Amino acid sequence: MNMKDITNNPYFLLTPGPLTTTETVKLAMMKDWCTWDDDYNNIVQDIRGQLVRIATKNPEKYSAVLMQGSGSFTVESVIGTTIPRDGKLLVLVNGAYGQRIVKTAKTIGIDTVVIDTGEVDPPDLKKLDETLTADQDITHVAIVHCETTTGILNPIDEVSKVVKRHNRVFFVDAMSSFGGIEMDIDELNIDYIVSSANKCIQGVPGFGFAIVKTEEFEKCAGNARSLSLDLYDQWKTMEENNGKWRFTSPTHVVRAFAQALKELDEEGGVAKRAARYRENQRTLVDGMEELNFKPLLPRELQSPIITPFYYPDSEEFAFQTFYDKLKEKGFVIYPGKVTNLNTFRIGNIGDIYPDDIRDLLTAIEESSYWLKSVPEN
């Protein structure tokens, strides 16, 4: 079994993030930084520029702003800052993270409309079109790109065409896809897109980021429902003070992220990383099907980020036992999140390669204690 990371880490993280990182990303955190010093703030500015260039071939239209906390903090900062007090949000929901956007918006008092298609179906574009036609008060539309509840990859290009035909502001939660799936946010007419440090860029947890269409974002001064999560004020401070954050920033995490961006470039950029993730996912699904595990989604709906599988058809199967056996072999997988189905999930993003997936499949076969033909370890 490939032990490249287990020597210094107890296991591979086969999750949608936090994820397995390189030793060099971890080592980047071994130096302290001063938040007022230009040595550190120049790193922040470089990160901001790189993120925009990753997002689009037309970077002059966009800007990036970093926000302390998990990705959900940044999602809330976008929702709470970009929607005016008299605005109205429509959320396309087909999983737990779309539902979280709804909960976030309602908690901070934003009038919210929901189009929910369940957890295994794509968004209803016809209903979206009809709703935007009927309700002229809706100002913003939000969707999760890769809904890691099921791993479904939502068709943001098709959604964008409907949203922009109705001249609404378009927000995409690309938490688990940015940096791991090729896209150009200008070609997609996305006004705001969000991700976080510990996803496909392969950094560590501690901050999220939003890439904003500058012309649209300039309208948002004074909208914020929160002091700490005022994304506009955070952006203005970074713009006017060479990358300075308003409040204490996660300096070590930022430095690790700068290293992760360097390693993304060395790998060949998003296209090469996306190809590796796709190969990881194909290897995983092919191998799991050979072991008689059934994927939740058809392949045409499945993202290359994370894949749910049904529990085996055996009364002896217990997820926790299976999980523990895999963990003993150096692999951590994820419980299922689909409401009424017995599933578990396996991610393949991070510093994970096809050989690692093949090692995982061997470990799964060896850990299939419910099959009498497989001896229990």
Q: Over the stretch 33-55, which tens digit does the pLDDT of each residue have?
A: 999 899 999 999 999 999 999 99
pLDDT at 132 over 60: yes
- Is it the case that residue 5 has pLDDT exceeding 60? no
Quick check: helix, strand or coil at residue 207? strand
Q: Which of 344, 329, 16, 294 is nearest to 148 (CA)?
A: 16
More confident residue, 79 or 300: 79
**Of 16, 285, 274, 21, which is closest to residue 151 (Cα–Cα)?**
16
Average pLDDT in the 141-170 region?
97
Mean pLDDT across 208-226: 97
Q: What phi-psi label fits residue 226: left (phi over 0), alpha (psi between -120 and 50 degrees) or beta?
A: beta
How many other β-carbons are positioned within 10 Å of the β-carbon of residue 287?
17
Q: How confident is the model at residue 17 (pLDDT cuts 50, 70, 90)?
A: confident
The DSSP output letter for 307 is E
Domains delineated in the chain = 12-16+269-366 (3.90.1150.10), 28-265 (3.40.640.10)
Is the separation of the CB atoms in 138 and 168 below 8 Å?
Answer: yes
AA letter at 307: T
Within a 10 A sphere around the Cβ of 348, how many other Cβ atoms? Answer: 29
**What pLDDT is attached to residue 372?**
59
- Give CA–CA dist 192/139, Å, rounded: 14
Given this model, what pLDDT does residue 3 score?
Answer: 39
Pairwise pLDDT comparison (279 vs 7), residue with the higher score? 279
pLDDT over 60 (residue 170): yes
Whole-number Å distance between alpha carbons of 335 and 149: 10
pLDDT 10s digits, 317-374 = 999 999 999 999 999 999 988 888 999 999 999 999 999 999 999 999 999 988 854 4
User: So what's the pLDDT on residue 337?
Assistant: 86
Find the angle CA(200)-CA(332)-CA(71) to the nearest 5 degrees: 35
In 270-351, beta strands by DSSP E: 306-310, 331-332, 334-335, 343-347
CB 234 within 8 Å of CB 209: no
pLDDT of residue 138 exceeding 70: yes
Q: Is 273 exposed, middle or buried (0-12, 13-18, 19+ CB in 10 A)?
A: buried
Which residues are CB-contacts of 19 (< 8 A; sequence separation ≥ 6)? 13, 198, 199, 202, 347, 349, 350, 351, 352
* Tokens encoding 276: 């590796």
Q: 11 pLDDT band (50/70/90 cuts)?
A: confident
Entry pTM:
0.94
Show the 3-state SS of 81-106.
HHCCCCCEEEEEECCHHHHHHHHHHH
Average pLDDT of the chain, as a whole number: 94
AA letter at 295: P
Predicted local distance difference test score (pLDDT) of residue 312: 95
- In angstroms, the Cα distances linking 358 to 21, 230, 282, 285, 362 are 19, 45, 11, 11, 6
Mean pLDDT of 232-250: 97
Residue 171: phi and psi, rounded to 5, are -115, 130
Asked whether residue 6 carries a pLDDT value surpassing 60, the answer given is no
92 or 6: which leads in pLDDT: 92
Token match 């993030």: residue?
Answer: 17
pLDDT of residue 28: 97
